[in-house]
């Protein structure tokens, strides 16, 4: 049996301006021709996985940081925040005058002032990754809907702009029934907080897919660039961190490849024997 490969999207498959290297596309296509299965394992919801990514050719996706699992078009798991939980979060964030967006397989839904309120955080996030510091919120989230319905029952998770790390700490106290997290930096440098389904992680999603496939952990490989990918690393037999990734992620990985824009995915596929150079 071939390997089962799990690839994070942002900072791993694509860079932080959504550029998808041709070398990554070719590597995945050739790996699948060689009998390996390739899944994206991402914080994105399905609505954020655009046709450019699906057109590569994938066996499926694990989305919402583990709340959604799909194999060959078949939905194996989809855990959602309840309407009551969503209403509680939205009201709490509005009460604190914090900007946020809802992540759903049906779309991204921004709060009334998210386009303006998230601009500084988005630009800082992009700058930390060595990318365009003039990008707009619409550049980062091209299909986001502003002014839509924000009390919803189809939400995977909710992200919000942190004013300080205390907002995240307060969210832990306020929402014991949800899974709190941060992204865009470690600890006090985090730019965003998020709230998802309790107990959800990329590890749980990998375990769910492997059970469905009847596959063994020893045949798995994970690719990531951030702290949120570490549970995925723990679920797999071998892990690869991108050279442009965070230090915590690199320390947790078995191997560190080059950055996304330096053909890191392709080089790691070669190193692991998933593809052969003569195939290009």
CATH of domain 4-79+201-279: 3.40.50.1000
Task: Say what the pLDDT of residue 69 is.
Answer: 98
Lowest mean pLDDT of 34-48, 92-106, 175-189, name the range.
175-189
- Three-class DSSP labels, the chain: CCCEEEECCECCCECCCCCCCHHHHHHHHHHHHCCCEEEEECCCCHHHCCHHHHCCCCCEEEECCCCEEEECCEEEEECCECHHHHHHHHHHHHHCCCCEEEEECCEEEECCCHHHHCHHHHHHHHHHCCCCCCCCHHHHCCCCEECCCCCCCCEEEEEEECCCHHHHHHHHHHCCCEEEEEECCCHHHCCEEEEEECCCCHHHHHHHHHHHHCCCHHHEEEEECCHHHHHHHHHCCEEEECCCCCHHHHHHCCEECCCHHHCHHHHHHHHCCCCCHHHC
Of the pLDDT bands very low, low, confident and very high (cuts 50, 70, 90), residue 132 is low
| pLDDT one-digit tens code per residue, 218-259 | 999 999 998 889 999 999 999 999 998 888 999 999 999 999
Whether the per-residue pLDDT at 148 is higher than 90: the answer is no
pLDDT of residue 197 exceeding 80, the answer is yes
Is the domain defined by 83-197 classed in CATH 3.30.1240.10?
yes
pLDDT of residue 279: 47
Output 62 or 182, whichever has higher pLDDT: 62
Query: What are the domain boundaries of the chain?
Result: 4-79+201-279, 83-197
């Amino acid at each position: 049996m071939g390997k089962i490969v799990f690839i994070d999207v942002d900072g791993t498959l694509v860079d932080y301006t959504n550029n998808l290297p041709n070398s990554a596309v070719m590597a995945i296509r050739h790996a699948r021709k060689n009998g390996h299965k390739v899944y994206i394992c991402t914080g994105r919801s399905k609505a954020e996985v655009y046709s450019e990514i699906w057109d590569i050719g994938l066996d499926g996706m694990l989305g919402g940081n583990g709340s959604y699992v799909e194999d060959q078009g078949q939905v194996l798991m989809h855990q959602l925040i309840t309407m009551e939980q969503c209403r509680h979060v939205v009201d709490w964030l509005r009460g604190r005058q914090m900007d946020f967006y809802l992540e759903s397989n049906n779309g991204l839904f921004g709060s009334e002032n998210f386009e303006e309120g998230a601009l500084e955080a988005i630009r800082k996030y992009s700058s930390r990754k060595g990318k365009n510091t003039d990008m707009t919120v619409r550049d980062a989230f091209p299909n986001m809907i502003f002014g839509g319905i924000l009390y919803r029952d189809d939400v995977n998770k909710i992200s919000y702009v942190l004013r300080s790390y205390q907002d995240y700490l307060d969210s832990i106290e306020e929402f014991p029934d949800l899974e709190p997290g941060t992204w865009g930096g470690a600890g006090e440098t985090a730019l965003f907080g998020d709230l998802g389904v309790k107990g959800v992680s990329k590890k749980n999603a990998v375990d769910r897919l492997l059970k469905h496939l009847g596959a063994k952990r020893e045949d798995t490989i994970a690719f990531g660039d951030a702290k949120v990918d570490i549970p995925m690393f723990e679920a797999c037999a071998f892990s690869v961190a991108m050279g442009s990734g965070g230090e915590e992620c690199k320390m947790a990985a078995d191997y560190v490849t080059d950055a996304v824009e330096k053909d890191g995915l392709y080089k790691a596929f070669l190193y692991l024997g998933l593809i052969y150079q003569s195939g290009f």
